[in-house]
Structure 1
Amino acid sequence: MQNTSPIGIFDSGYGGLTVFRSIADRLPEYDYIYLGDNARSPYGDHSFDTIYKYTLECVEWLFAKGCHLVILACNTASAKALRTIQQKDLPAKYPDRKVLGVIRPTAEVIDEFTFSKKVGVMGTRGTVNSQSYLLEINKFFPKINVFQQSCPMWVPLIENNEHLQSGADFFINEYCSSLMQQSEDIDCVLLACTHYPLLLPKLKKVFPDHINILTQGEIVANSLVDYLERHPEIKAKLARAGKKSFYTSGDPLAFDEHASIFFGEEVGSNSM
């Protein structure tokens, strides 16, 4: 079988580039297509139906580009669209394609990072309101207590490159304080939005040293390695030339200006 299929990676904007960076570092031999739906970002406050519609359109675009495997590197899309796509659209129209998310891989390993079994989850309103992390974590680890905090101002601050300025401190302190007020025994905080790793320098100053601040890139990358080993029929289709392509539904020049902050190197994007 000829290896011609790139791995598709989708996000509503820039945040998925932090996950893409970890995946590309872990599996540099594969070809990748990244798609950011920047024209309709952020997804966090949209309805389930709208997010499902937008996500499916982008997944189908990646399928048309030859991707047999697509990673939703977006917590909101994973929370609000993934299950419907997996259970409805793939069996009906794309039985040979796979779409994976970021929530389940994280839930499967969260127990490794908490001794108190009290975990904080910080995400967009959409992710928090979906209850997806609470449900998935309790499915694997019923004894873990999950405390959630929505952080609606963090994505706009990050995407406008204001996240490390002093003006961001109020919203960082406010949301972190609100989370910790729910339980003083929280010892692991999951950043359940792929934008949030860019806040790590400030978050490490706000949270006590004993708290594990957990990002998802490495977790998702390790999970993908395991998935490909368990699904050789998918692995056999993947192109291996180490090529990375970037697309956006927005302005490519604006995308390139911000994308390097998330990806760690310059990117040259194309219009969707």
Structure 2
Amino acid sequence: MIGVFDSGTGGLTVLQALAHDLPGQRFVYLGDHRHAPYGNREPEEIYQLTVAAVERLFGLGCRLVVVACNTAAANGLRRLQQTWLPSHHPDRRVIGVLVPMVEAITGVPWMADIRTGRHRGEPRTVAIFATRHTVRSGAFVEEIGKRAPEVTVVQQACPVLVTLIEQAAPEAVLRRAVRRYAALLMRQLGGVPPDAVILGCTHYPLISGLFAEALPPGVEMLSQPDITARSLAAYLERHPEFDTADGTDAPPPRFFTTGDAGKVSALATRFYGRPAVFEPIGAA
């Protein structure tokens, strides 16, 4: 099985794209709703919670896990891959949603030797809307800068937006919040529209229309779920040992939560696009 992990429910937008594009793969989803949102926690705590969640998915039989949480990926995925995984589970792998976005923006494969040459495309500006922790980590700025220094990256934190989405706030409330964050971004840019926008939180695709409405016409909006799905398909081609397909459509994904399974299941349909019944799993 392939595990998909998020701090809460937003990762279901990624799972939906994965299941649609890779119908032969068997997926299991884990939401750490007991500790959500991660954006208000300290980096070390985010890392430890991520390790605990990955360990649980390994315990459910997953050999490959997709960290579908930008905050978790930005604050500790590299450390998890380089230190914890080799010493605890050397035969398993963990990947995240941040890498595919960096590759899509820069056109440079993640494993490319960036010391021997950098991508030199047309100068452009990419804007990122994300949680406060993802912005503070600087992960997008750092990794894009290594590979494509001609790309200017401007970040805008969106405090409380995840909470509003999780609470199913009225559209008028969400629209006001998105307009406020879009206005702050445009102020940073001196009124000049960015060439492209990344919705750097898995919750945000649910209100992508509000972002498009709040931004100037013609700004390209990159879909993180779709890009992640394409990236996973390419990864499985390179690493067939993690491919769970057997030539037939896989059964529906299983869903687990560290929180209240009933409440999470009721909310999940909005994110997954169809009923998603969660099972409880003990929290670390």
Query: TM-score under structure 1 normalisation?
Result: 0.93
1:171 to 164, 177, 185: 177
Tell me which amino acid in the other structure corresponds to 2:180.
Answer: E
CA shift at 1:60, angstroms?
0.1
Residue 156 of structure 2 corresponds to 149
Q: 1:197-212, aligned counterparts within 5 Å?
A: 197-212=205-220
Matched residue, 1:253 = 262
Pick from 188, 193, 211 the counterpart of residue 196 of structure 2: 188
Q: CA RMSD for the aligned pairs?
A: 1.6
Q: Secondary structure at the match of 2:188?
A: coil
Letter of the structure 2 residue corresponding to residue 216 of structure 1: Q
C-alpha offsets along residues 125-171 of structure 1, whole Å, 9 cap, x if unaligned?
Answer: 11000000001111221110000000012101100001x52122332
**Match of residue 266 from structure 1:** 275
Cα distance in 2 between the residues matched to 1:25 and 1:90: 29
Confirm or deny: 8 A CA contact 2:124 2:150 kept in the other structure: yes
8 Å CA contact retained: 1:69, 1:234: yes
**Aligned counterpart, 1:52:** 47
Structure 1 residues 248 and 186: CA distance shift in structure 2, 3 A: same
Question: CA offset at residue 45 of structure 1?
Answer: 1.8
Question: 1:1-272 maps to which residues of 2 (within 5 A)?
Answer: 6-111=1-106, 117-162=124-169, 164-183=170-189, 184-235=192-243, 241-272=250-281
Measure how far apart 1:172 and its partner are: 1.2
Q: Tell me if the contact between 2:193 and 2:219 (Cα under 8 Å) persists in the aligned partners.
A: no
Bigger Cα displacement from structure 2, 209-218 vs 33-42: 209-218
Offset at residue 185 of structure 1 (A): 4.0
The 2-side partners of 1:67 and 1:201 are apart by: 34
Cα displacement (A) at 1:252: 0.7
1:85-140 deviation per Cα after TM superposition (whole angstroms, max 9, x unaligned): 1011111010001000111110001147x975101011001100000000111122
Displacement, 1:223? Answer: 0.3
Give the total of aligned pairs: 264
C-alpha distance in structure 2 between counterparts of 1:48 and 1:111, whole Å = 26
Report SS of the residue matched to 2:85: helix
Aligned amino acid, residue 148 of structure 2:
F
Report if the CA contact (8 A) 2:193-2:216 is conserved. Answer: no
> 1 CA distance for matches of 2:253 and 2:92?
20
Gaps spanning 5+ residues in structure 1: where?
1-5
Residue 269 of structure 1, CA deviation = 0.9
Match of 1:3 in 2: none
Provide the rounded CA distance (Å) in 1 between the counterparts of 2:145 and 2:123: 15
Q: What is the Cα deviation at residue 201 of structure 1?
A: 2.1
Write the distance in 1 (CA, Å) between the matches of 2:174 and 2:123: 30
Distance 2:251 2:27 in 1: 8
Alpha-carbon distance in structure 1 between the residues aligned to 2:126 and 2:142: 13
Give the structure-2-normalised TM-score.
0.89
C-alpha displacement of 1:242:
3.0
**Counterparts of 1:64 and 1:140, CA distance in 2:** 36
Distance 1:165 1:101 in 2: 30
What whole-Å deviation, never above 9, does each CA across 1:27-66 have from its counterpart, x for those lacking one? 0111111000011100012111000011100000000111
Task: Tell me, yes or no, if the aligned pair for 2:24 and 2:245 is still in contact at 8 Å.
Answer: no
Match of 2:112 in 1: none
- Kindly provide the amino acid, as one letter, of the partner of residue 79 in structure 2: T
Identify the residue that residue 116 of structure 2 maps to in structure 1: none
Shift of 1:233: 2.2
